[in-house]
A = this chain, B = another copy of it.
Amino acid sequence: MDKIVRIDMGAEGGPQVRTESMGDYAGMGGRALTSSIISKEVPPTCHPLSAENKFVIAPGLLSGSAAAMSGRISVGCKSPLTGGIKEANSGGQPSQMLGRLGIAAIVLEGKPDGNDLYKVLINKDGVKIEADSSLCMLGNYDTVDKMKAEFGEKVACISIGQAGEQKLSGASVAFTDMEQRPTRHAGRGGVGAVMGSKGVKVIVVDDTDCSVRSPADPEKFKEANKTFVAGLRGHAVTGQGLPAYGTNVLQNVINEAGALPTHNFQWGRFEGCSKISGEAQAELENQRGGEGSATHGCHRGCVIRCSGTFYDKDGVYVTKQPEYETVWAHGSNCGIDDLDAIAKLDRMDDDFGLDTIEMGATIAVAMEAGLAKFGDAEAAIKLVGEVGKGSPLGKILGSGAAVTGQVLGVERIPVVKRQAMPAYDPRTVQGIGVTYATSTMGADHTAGYAVATNILGVGGSVDPLKPEGQVELSRNLQIATAAIDSTGMCLFIAFAILDQAETFQALIDLINGFTGAELTADDVTELGKKILSMERDFNQRAGFTAKDDRLPDYFKNEKFPPHNITFGVKDEDLDQVFNF
């Protein structure tokens, strides 16, 4: 991984490719690289859809290697949803394949003059770009099918659906999974709209004839990988909970904790929870598909394998096993207790290229506005369907919860920095509330997953209902996460490395064995701090202040059943999160 592929989509006479060495960015991967490029090269006050913005895709530092769990990929840009810097993270196959191709980043720059829509092919021979009007307003599934027909069954695709083409602020970027289906998404922050503004529909990645990347110290690397994998397999969450039920194992857990936002964050327990829990989902999937739940990973090298497949009652493929955040967003938060309806919504989101968290939150806001009744699954399906059609209503909804709330005159809009909150109410899990409020990304659970320590007892224990200790918890997790997001490692490794010192050491040995460096735990922390500081600096230059590091007032004023508490972390304490 020694090169950056830059494509100037606004060049005279059509797109121009330049392949550059890493230069100042040497040694960086994933989020460290995307945030560095955006921070250094994009004017913070530019319009997110303007030629000045850049769209960066970067595999992690270890992607393309034999390291377990190393297939995550980062997408960076100035976000049309938040107006700040964005790193959206995805699984799927492209990360490993780009790694094998030696590509540390693809950067889309400029903006084409006309309305041409382009496809990009990247393989061992280089980069080929071609306009292809037959792709206009196709969903991700059809797009990928066309690419496979054209370039072979084994290619991986990075694509946008109708939402990204419409430049909607809720648009995602799809990454094909191990079955070459577009089910893995860099979901958050409207990154798909920025790809759409660059006029690129799909990037096809073909790693034929490319080899796995070789470590600097093969022995050390191999040994560390073994210890690392054993650590993951030995931990209750990564070795049992996630493989058995997938991420949706959380539905019952969070409901039990009274922290499951229901009916647009009105209360914390959903009466239909047992019908849509991970356990119910696994049972249904076992009945239908025989393949069971959580049988495979989303990328080569995954040993947690929290992914699965969802079939309809006739055994026909619908979508990948919907993740916890999706089942919550389209389920509990909308009062919908029907797994088939939720799977259908997941499929639609994946096909149109939409962030399921943003869309679930948005549909719930629309329900509060009276566009549909809470619990009405058919109405929800119809509403999401509007986005695919490109109707005015679809454009509103596809723009996310903040816009939808404003347009429909709704007061209770669960967003921070205009990005919708995920599946944990910040009043009942106050640590994640600190992350929502202060993350450089807007409301984002992955940015500092305090739920682990607040609810799951991982990495120690901090009472979720009290403000004490939450700032320190969120700070440490945000720092660690920024570093992990740069390695290409799946964030779920955090469960094991937080609890098991030897697994954490194995991760460091893995990095050192691969790169030949001699990093310590402190170096990893420093990297995390450096990334956060850079992102925060970009946001400040874009106009963000401490006032943007706040939950909406109603989380401080409205008591949340069943615990009937409000968010109690003080503003002045929130302002200490980045004081490191």
Contacts and interface: CB of A to CB of B under 8 A. Distances in A.
Most buried by B among A45, A391, A413: A45
Given A80-B406, A391-B392, A392-B391, A411 B545 contact: no
B547 A45 contact: yes
Contacts of A193: 409
A579 B393 CA distance: 45
A47 B553 contact: yes
A301 interface: no
A176 B553 CA distance: 36
Given A393-B392, A552-B47, A553-B45, A166 B409 contact: yes
Contact of A407 (B49, B403, B548, B553): B403
Contacts of A553: 43, 45-47, 50, 52
A427 interface: no
B396 A45 contact: no
A399 to B, nearest CB: 5
Interface residues of A, number: 40
Interface in A57-80: 80
Contacts of A391: 392
B50 A550 contact: no
Query: What is the count of identical protomers in the complex?
Result: 2
A212 interface: no
A406 B47 contact: no
A438 to B, nearest CB: 14
Most buried by B among A403, A410, A411, A550: A411
Most buried by B among A167, A410, A554: A167
A554 B407 contact: no
Nearest to A45: B553
Contacts of A43: 553
Nearest to A52: B553
A413 B46 CA distance: 12
A390 to B, nearest CB: 11
Given A393-B392, A395-B396, A409 B550 contact: no
B543 A547 contact: yes
Given A45-B550, A399-B406, 20 more contacts: A43-B553, A47-B412, A47-B553, A49-B409, A50-B411, A50-B553, A169-B406, A196-B409, A391-B392, A392-B392, A392-B393, A392-B396, A395-B407, A395-B408, A399-B407, A403-B403, A403-B407, A543-B545, A543-B547, A543-B548
Interface of A: 43, 45-47, 49-50, 52, 80, 166-169, 193, 196-197, 391-393, 395-396, 399, 403, 406-413, 541-543, 545, 547-548, 550, 552-554
21 contacts: A45-B550, A45-B553, A47-B552, A50-B411, A50-B554, A52-B553, A80-B406, A167-B409, A168-B409, A193-B409, A196-B409, A197-B409, A197-B411, A392-B393, A392-B396, A395-B408, A396-B407, A403-B406, A541-B547, A543-B547, A545-B545
